[in-house]
């Protein structure tokens, strides 16, 4: 049922995709949106806390998504922190698309590209554990200068590039990534190997303090994500 009342919209929901943020405009960084959007995600977190199922899976798409996911979670103390994610799947698909164009390999044959960190220009798209057709991505591309420079910059700044050309944000590709993220969160990793998810961990991983919403490589089984260890 369409509604503008979050207490109606979130009532007993199993999944919530939070896209209701002020969009970026030309020349804006995601951080510029923080003040306006903090109020939005505070209210949405409080509404989820009141009326959603405690098992609800909440995916935050609205930017800055890592911070907004943390704000929403903070305002929904009765829902486990593991049930809130920020979306870095869009960055992962952008990275896979670049490698597909570079190598001619089908996207479904590119696996384990990792997005570490924040869905912003500071993220790190990691190809050191990735494969193309089962072989090392780094060896297949065979161009470290490209992988360590233009590749990373293109993934991290692709959103701004689209805004510059189209004068609006990349809604369609973000929607596709949101569908892929939620699909894998429910049913397990389907394509691309590890799934990049910005999650709030209860313990330290890779030197990242607990309680920070940070994108890690994850595996998903029976609707539960776990961070890939030992890389």
205 is catalytic: no
Over residues 97-141, the pLDDT tens digits come to: 999 999 999 999 999 999 999 998 899 999 999 999 999 999 999
Average pLDDT value for residue range 16-38? 77
Over residues 29-41, the pLDDT tens digits come to: 767 777 778 889 9
Catalytic residue among 119, 129, 181, 205: 119
d(CA 172, CA 127): 25
Domain boundaries, the chain: 6-86, 89-227
d(CA 66, CA 100): 27
Give the torsion sign (CA, 23, 220, 81, 55): positive
Fold observed for domain 6-86: Rossmann fold (3.40.50)
Average pLDDT value for residue range 201-211? 96
Q: Which residue has the higher pLDDT, 26 or 193?
A: 193
Average pLDDT value for residue range 180-209? 94
Over residues 134-165, the pLDDT tens digits come to: 999 999 999 999 999 999 999 987 655 555 55
Q: How far apart, in Å, are the Cα atoms of 129 and each of 42, 126, 139?
A: 37, 7, 11
Q: What number does CATH give the domain 89-227? A: 3.90.110.10
């Amino acid at each position: 049922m369409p509604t503008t009342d979050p207490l109606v919209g979130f009532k007993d929901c199993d999944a919530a995709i939070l896209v209701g943020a002020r969009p970026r405009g030309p020349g804006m960084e995601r951080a510029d949106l923080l003040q306006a959007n903090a109020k939005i995600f505070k209210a949405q977190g409080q509404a989820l806390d009141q009326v959603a199922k405690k098992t609800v899976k909440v995916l935050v798409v609205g930017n800055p998504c890592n911070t907004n996911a943390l704000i929403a979670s903070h305002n929904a103390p009765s829902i486990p922190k593991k049930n809130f994610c920020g979306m870095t799947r869009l960055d992962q698909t952008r990275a896979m698309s670049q490698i597909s164009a570079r190598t001619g390999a089908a996207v479904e044959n590119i696996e384990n590209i990792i997005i570490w960190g924040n869905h912003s220009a500071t993220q790190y798209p990691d190809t050191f554990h990735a494969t193309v057709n089962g072989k090392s991505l780094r060896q297949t591309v065979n161009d470290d200068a490209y992988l360590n420079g233009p590749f990373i910059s293109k993934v991290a700044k692709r959103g701004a590039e689209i805004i510059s050309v189209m004068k609006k944000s990349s809604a369609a590709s973000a929607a596709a990534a949101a569908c892929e993220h939620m699909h894998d969160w429910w049913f397990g990793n389907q394509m691309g190997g590890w799934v990049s998810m910005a999650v709030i961990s209860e313990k330290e991983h890779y030197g990242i303090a607990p309680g920070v919403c940070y994108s890690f490589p994850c595996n998903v089984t029976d609707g539960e994500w776990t961070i890939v260890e030992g890389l």
